[in-house]
Chains A and B, each alone.
Chain A
Amino acid sequence: MFFRILRKDLKRKKTMNIILLVFIILASTFAISGTDCAVSVFGGLDYYMEKAEAPDYIVLTRNSELADQWIADLSAMDSVTNCKKEEIFFFSSTCLLKNGERVSDVSNAVMGFPVSGTIINYFDRSDRVIKELAEGEVYISGPLVSDEDFKVGSTFELTLADETITLKVAGYAKDAIFGTSAMGNPSLIMSDADYQRVRAAEGIKPYLGTRVYLNSTNVNEVKDYLGLQSGILFDGDIEMIKTTYIMDMIVAGMVVLLSIGLLLIAFVLLGHTIKYSVVEEFREIGVMKAVGLKNRAIRGLFLVKYLGLAIVGTVIGFFLSIPFEHALLEEASRNMVFGSENLILIRILMAIIIVAVVLLFCYHSTRKVKKLSPVDAMRNGMPGERYHKKGLLSLAKSHLPFNSYMAANDITASPRQYSMIILIFAMAMVLIMVLANTANTLRSGNLAPLLSVTESDAYMTLTDSTMKAMASDDPYALMHEMEEIERVLAENDMPANVYVEVFYKYPVEFNGRKSQVQFLHCAETKTADYEYTDGYAPENKYEIALGEVLLKELGAEIGDKIWITINGQREEYRITASMISLSQLGQVGRLHPDVDVHSQDISSGYPFQIDFDEKVSGKELERRFDRIRELFQPQELLEVDGFVESSTKAAPMVSALKNLLLIITIGVIFLMTALMERSFISRERREIALSKALGIRSRDVLVHHALRFMFMLLISLILAMIFCIPATHLMDAIFAVMGAGKGIRYKIKPMEVFVAYPLILLGVTVAAAFLTALYTKHIHAVDTADVE
């Protein structure tokens, strides 16, 4: 009997049961993939480094004899285990040609090495370890990946010494050590045959380099040893390498945010659907009660039905979550391999939780069964003693057009039911707004403080001027260059203040530890113009701020004094603040403007910053940029947004991810709207048939249904606008990781966030509701006769 009723129910309420099943599939897909994403991302870096078999410390040099000496010395240390070296090609991107022409403007050195015998693992885009390659093929990584000339399948020539070989890009590789945008070193993973062919070329020696990898239980001991050595091009421990993944982790954080958002939406939606599908059953509950079925048996019937649906839905969702998760993490995993050892267990656990949640919702929704008499149940759960008007609106008094009234009245008459849908829409919209604000902020000038620069009207790269200053004996050569730029600008009716942030490299000592540190110095700004994570801005020439990474490395704290040798003078400086900078892997400090620096100590510099005396924007700024290009022929001339984009190199990844997340969210909303509307049609079949019987046209029914979703979305939009800014600040945690915890200014583009996206969502929702509501055309006036 029990199963006969169940079978009949599944058959008779096919549409609602299918919709419920689809919602369970959606919820489990989001929940399982969302949890996976979160677990993968939170443990992401450690997992990736482990998979890549990354060492504790890396050293790069051109001198293989020196490397051998270091390996001998380091291997003698008790703390060092597994010290190995590998030979590589180490060359400028000018060696990469296409039909004899230079194709890449990557400034960092390129590294080439054979596929077999690599000490660490390199992965392809499918996260498989690259183990072999056909002759003539190459895997590329780093900045070359985003270069149009190096698309998969394209060919280029590599010319080293007197040997030229043509290589075909077989795919993109993930390089755990040098592959991030912050490191910026492209790698060429070549076939052994190609590598040996070039290696045999006469005069290859200047193009050779050596990488030393070692594991150590005491990295400081290694650092102290290497600090005394010369000929090191790069050295760093794994913790420092991990800091280069900040942008990747932030992008992954956005994926986690989307996953959590979708998870919340899925659960709210599921709860809502189950609750209202159970309410629809009250009539049957009444009949069952009337014929003498016990409460336990009635609830058991529902629980068995929902258990069946939950198991089927979760199994399907379990398998769908795999490609969905890949799609989510695709952009975030361009440079990384995400995963976790226990993913399968987590997946199974999440699937069980979904089944339990469905049953819990069902149990909760059917709790009324106990209290209701058969008659109450047949009255759809209403006790029937509530004598008051339903809804806030009155058809006669309303000034709304007929269909608008019907839509608005539905919402006000069942506020609880519709408020849940409004909440779901608002959550989705806030999610889109937060993602857009975060993505826009990551690409905006608002991140300038994290690059340790102030905001200016223009950023002009003049490599020649900087090089000239570096080569000059005049300690104030750079200042003269700036004065010259100011003069030319003034002569051309563009009076401006010109200055530049420059890195000076000075030896630093603290507690017996020595290190070479890059210090930022700008003569024209105040130290208070920059952001610090703790302490106060240096107030005199003997006060400095140091990067948090550096403080940790030196074992120093705010208030400590360190020795710095500037212009041959070894003097004591007090640390007054800590800072985080995306430049130089965070290993930077800031000097007070009064410190007497010498142009010869410049190690590198930012572009010249131009602050026009007058406030200029729009057409006038464009005109001035054109004129400056004519006057100085700079390598780059950018506004602050462009400067940040160019410096963080995160723009393509962030844009692609933002678009992907938008598409996913919009797709989910389309699907949800369609399913909800279909469930409304199923529940309101009687009313639709009645409307038509009374002479209301099909078109009016359609408009009424589409308008209902439009109104809900408009209310959601108002809620989303109210919560947009506070919700965006949830991302503070992510920006805090970058060092901008103290009041990041989010880049909010009102036209995009408050106009474009809401319009897109409105369009998508109304379209989904309208297209689904077309089904009402299949409900005819005559169906009034047999809806029961």
Chain B
Amino acid sequence: MSVDKKTVSKVARLARIAVPEDRLEPMATELNTILAWIEQLNEVDVEGVEPMTTPVAMELPMRDDVVTDGNIRDQVLSNAPRTEDGFFVVPKVVE
């Protein structure tokens, strides 16, 4: 499997990273180098093998279904690039 300019452009869109037109081709080459190296995994027999989850089997811990946190609006907003009246300010999304 090898990626071309068009695929890089699509993947960049999915990753929400603006990749300038003149970077698409070099990026495709870089990604192909890495992907070609990764291809060797196809040599491994994984028939009937379960995907890895954890080296130490354990049950997920449960806690009571109660509110443990909240009422920290100002803390939540304190690192936002733009806020107004206790809200995040975002670009217009509805015309």
Do chains A and B interact in one complex? no
**Residues of chain A at the chain B interface (Cβ within 8 Å):** none
